[in-house]
Amino acid sequence: HVGWALLYAGHLNKNYLSIYVPDLKTTTWFDEHLTEDNQEFMRKSMAEEYRRQTADKLNPLKDEPWPRQEWTEGSRRVGLIAVKLGMVPAWTKTGERHVVTMLQVQDCHVIKCLSKDEYDGHTAALVVGGKNVSPFYRTEQQMEMFRKAGVPPKQKLTTFKVSDNAIIKPGTPLYAAHFRPGQYVDVTAKTIGKGFQGVMKRWGFRGQPASHGQTKTHRRPGASGPGGDPAKVFKGKKMPGMMGNIFDTAYGLKIWRVNTKYNVLYVNGSVPGHRSCLVKVKAVHIHTHTHTHTHTHRERE
């Protein structure tokens, strides 16, 4: 069902504004129809069930682990899903000060393995989930995927491209020790939404002069396109608009420290997103161009 609400815009011009109000489905049925005691009982029972599923999945007597393969030049490993905790200063042994971002790996597991044919025909992929969530807010199709992997429901799922020698068995937990200090990683997350902003804040425009005949144009962009030919505004022109709330990647961040007790990565500089947001961490993969040597007729002989 779709509802429409009519709002009266003014008493003089008799204009009406039609606003679309969608009928959103609520996911709080269990919260409203269960008592606090029942909710607490279900949380405990679900936690015990998930621990049992994970233990059964990782039991080498019931299900043999997949063989580990050696790392080779050009291998691409799986990444992690972490929670951004914030930024703190850090000092090296020589006294150099650096500002780092703390990323905590919480309940990160491999959910599904996709072969080359199942993914894109070129590379294999692994589906990784991070941060446990209540099963009441997941669909039955998603729950079936979690049951097959033997892990609790996850808040975020993401796919990492991996090489054939870096495939991991579904249900395997991933920790901060997956990376080592000195490695470089790429961190992807959704940036903080800034709303509708002008060109000076959104694109860093200089703006117009503060005086000398300027009237109400101090923060305006100026000309937006040629006036004669072709007399149009080209696509991609930097103009005012919505800023932030898009996925962005910080490339080549060095890992200064790995806290294995609390599963925290200390990466150099800032990363996109607000505090407590989920970020995608993967190792830097540099593409190398391979040139095939063509043998001459004399070399073939």
- Could you tell me which residues come within 8 angstroms of residue 14 by beta carbon, excluding any fewer than 6 positions away? none
Position 268 in a domain: yes
Closest CA to 75 of 162, 190, 140: 162
Position 11 in a domain: no
Position 229 in a domain: no
Structure confidence at residue 280 (pLDDT): 97
For 153, the enclosing helix (H) or strand (E) is none
Structural domain range at position 97: 80-193+244-283
Structure confidence at residue 181 (pLDDT): 95
Residue 186 and residue 284 in contact, taking contact as beta carbons nearer than 8 Å: yes
The pTM is what? Answer: 0.76
Q: Tell me, what CATH number does 175's domain have?
A: 2.40.30.10
Position 116 in a domain: yes
C-alpha 267/C-alpha 252 separation (Å) is 10
Structure confidence at residue 133 (pLDDT): 87
Structure confidence at residue 18 (pLDDT): 47
Position 24 in a domain: no
Closest CA to 1 of 18, 24, 29: 24
C-alpha 37/C-alpha 43 separation (Å) is 10
Structure confidence at residue 67 (pLDDT): 79
Closest CA to 111 of 135, 83, 139, 142: 142
| Total count of domains within the chain | 1
Structure confidence at residue 58 (pLDDT): 63
Structure confidence at residue 39 (pLDDT): 76
Position 99 in a domain: yes
Position 127 in a domain: yes
Structure confidence at residue 30 (pLDDT): 58
**Consecutive 10-residue averages of pLDDT for the chain (301 residues):** 39 46 51 73 76 67 73 88 96 95 94 91 93 84 87 92 90 93 96 96 95 93 90 94 96 95 96 95 72 40 38
